[in-house]
Amino acid sequence: MYKTTIGLEIHFEGKTKSKMFCSCLNDPNEKIPNTNICPICTGHPGTLPVINEEAINKLILVGLALNCEIAKHSKFDRKSYFYPDLPKGYQISQYDLPLCKNGYLDINLDDGTTKKIRINRIHMEEDTGRLGHSSNSSLVDFNRAGVPLMELVTEADINSSEEAKKFAQELQLILRYLDVSDADMEKGQMRCEVNISISKTDAWGTKVEIKNLNSFRVVEKSIEFEIKRQAEILESGGSVVQETRGWHDTKQITMEQRSKEDAFEYRYFPEPDLPPINVNENIIINIQKHMPELPEEKRIRFKEEYKLDDKSIEFFVKDIVMGNYFEKIVSELNCWCDDKECKMNEDFDYVKICSNYLSVDFQAMFKNDELLKGKEYNTALLESIITPENFGEFICMIGSGELSSKTAKMVLEEMYKTHGDPSSIVEEKGLSQMTDSGEVEGIIKDVLAKNPKAVEDYKAGKQNSFTFLVGQIMAASKGKANPQSVGEMLKKELDN
């Protein structure tokens, strides 16, 4: 058996008002090329960069969330290379004195264990522009040039594709909780690189780098492919070549991009146009004060406070908007429960029922909503959300027996479509449960008269007939009778 050793390098774009070293807008949604540009971010000679304080503070926040040491003194360096989307001919980055180092992130694995992945460093740099190619030309868009870009490098503590994927997913979630980055991989706001080697001994094997992995699925697949590819080479007596590879999504394989001989010499040297970064204790204390609740803290709180199962907790932790929405509805219901007028049955678990209706029924309607196709996820979700008051009232009506589970689904669909309140919908559509026992009695008598054979069978001791009769009565009431009271009344009628 080979031991797999993996280190990750993850880049993520900072969500700031302006770019890293100029006052141009940092707008990832700008569609018109070269709109948010100026002489600084297009690298004109004689211009001077200025450090974006908001971006530095956001990196410190990430560092604190990931248990890093924040360097009291750090600096920027020039990383020199030529590429058409890099107008200065160098990238401003951090070389030997990164702002954050020696952190870690605990990840939860599928087998229920937790694993600590150490983080070597997180530093600040600037993003490049983008190239667009057509059949006879290449065009460059500098809207992204100079956007704050943070790079995180892990220690080689990762031993499987599952661990690599879980690390990247948890990091993405943390960045979103911190509001530091949207970290959308499809949009290139978060990019992963994998360093992977396999070996039969404790010593590391030859390291292969896989670049530009733009989804969690591709991170997982490319690692699995590499483990197999490298094992086959070693099994046949060959040796793995140290090189950079890329993922070919159509062929589902990694392919050579460049060998070690082509490795760049970046000629790092301190950026002469920028002062060093000095971070004092007060700045750190101040940023720590604004640390929001992190995903793992939320998992623990949801378990204690709402006693939900792990799957539901993960649903609300991963989807921040749904998690907040759930909490608002539950707090509405808590108020109602404190109210003496509340009609919910005492043993009705409104927290669990609310969680189920949100994560299953509401989610299904939202996902199948044709009107929302093509919209940004959170925008679409916020548009679709029924007010917490109305959703709370809906749950309350289930808890008090006013809505059967069957009519509840119909009411919810109507609430979703019209954003109306549940009691008006019930009234308009005539969906309330039959509470008039005289009406139910009439239906029972009617059904019994029409099914003398079933009555006979029941009296002869056949329990199936009872179930059959309840079904007939429910159908005759169009689902509006309460099945429990129908059962009780029917028994009384038959045993008379």
Q: Which of 6, 8, 10, 22 binds Zn ion (CB under 5 A)?
A: 22
Residue 116 buriedness (CB in 10 A; 0-12 / 13-18 / 19+): exposed
When the beta carbons of 148 and 392 are compared against Zn ion, the nearer one is 148
Of 472, 439, 437, which Cα lies nearest the Cα of 455? 472
Return the number of the residue (10 or 24) whose C-beta is nearest Zn ion: 24
Helix (H), strand (E), coil (C) string for 298-337: HHHHHHHHHCCCHHHHHHHHHCHHHHHHHHHHHHHHHHHH
End-to-end CA distance of the chain: 75
Q: Which residues contact 492 (CB under 8 A, 6 or more apart)?
A: none
Question: To the nearest whole angstrom, how small is the minimum distance from the Cβ of residue 125 to Zn ion?
Answer: 16
How many residues in the shown chain lie near Zn ion by CB under 5 A? 5
Span interacting with Zn ion, options 8-16, 37-45, 49-57, 426-434, rule CB under 5 A: 37-45
Q: Residue 381 interacts with Zn ion (CB under 5 A)?
A: no
Residue number, 41 or 474, with CB nearest to Zn ion: 41
As measured in angstroms, the least distance from the Cβ of 23 to Zn ion is 7
Query: Based on CB atoms, which residue is closest to Zn ion, 76 or 302?
Result: 76
The nearest distance, CB 21 to Zn ion, in angstroms, is 8
Nearer to Zn ion, 18 or 433 (CB): 18
Q: What is the DSSP letter of 363?
A: H
Q: Does 153 bind Zn ion (CB under 5 A)?
A: no
Q: How far is the CB of 141 from Zn ion (least distance, A)?
A: 13
Write the DSSP assignment of 34-75 as a string of letters.
T-S--TTTTT-TT------HHHHHHHHHHHHHTTPEEPSEE-
3-state class (DSSP) for residue 129: coil
Per CB under 5 A, which region of 21-29, 55-63, 163-171, 437-445 contacts Zn ion? Answer: 21-29
| In the complex, least distance from residue 266 CB atom to Zn ion, rounded to whole angstroms | 23
Q: Which residues contact 243 (CB under 8 A, 6 or more apart)?
A: 208, 209, 256, 257, 258, 259, 260
Question: Strand locations in 59-218, DSSP E?
Answer: 69-70, 73-74, 77-80, 90-93, 100-108, 114-126, 130-133, 138-141, 148-154, 190-199, 208-213
Beta carbon nearer to Zn ion, 74 or 128: 128
User: Beta strand pairing status for 243-248 and 253-259?
Assistant: antiparallel
In whole angstroms, give the CA distance from residue 8 to residue 196. 9
- Minimum separation from the CB atom of position 16 to Zn ion (A): 13
Contact present, 184 and 190 (Cβ < 8 Å): yes
Residue 38 binds to Zn ion (criterion: CB under 5 A): yes
Among 24, 183, 308, 447, binds Zn ion (CB under 5 A): 24
Compare residues 145 and 313 and give the one whose CB is closer to Zn ion.
145
Stretch binding Zn ion (CB under 5 A), from 15-23, 392-400, 440-448, 485-493: 15-23
In the complex, the smallest distance separating the C-beta of residue 24 from Zn ion, rounded to whole angstroms, is 3
Q: Which of 6, 8, 41, 443 binds Zn ion (CB under 5 A)?
A: 41
CB of 37 to Zn ion, least distance (A): 6
Give the gyration radius of the chain's Cα atoms: 31
Closest distance to Zn ion from the beta carbon of 222 (Å): 35
144 or 245: whose CB is closer to Zn ion? 144
Provide the CB-side half-sphere exposure for 86 (13 A, CA): 14
Name the residue nearer to Zn ion (CB basis): 87 or 205.
87
Q: Residue 136 to residues 23, 132, 133, 422: CA-CA distances in angstroms?
A: 34, 11, 8, 60
Task: Let me know if 396 is exposed, middle or buried by CB neighbors in 10 A (0-12, 13-18, 19+).
Answer: buried
Indicate the residue among 144 and 221 with the shorter CB distance to Zn ion.
Answer: 144
Which residues of this chain interact with Zn ion, rule CB under 5 A? Answer: 22, 24, 38, 40-41
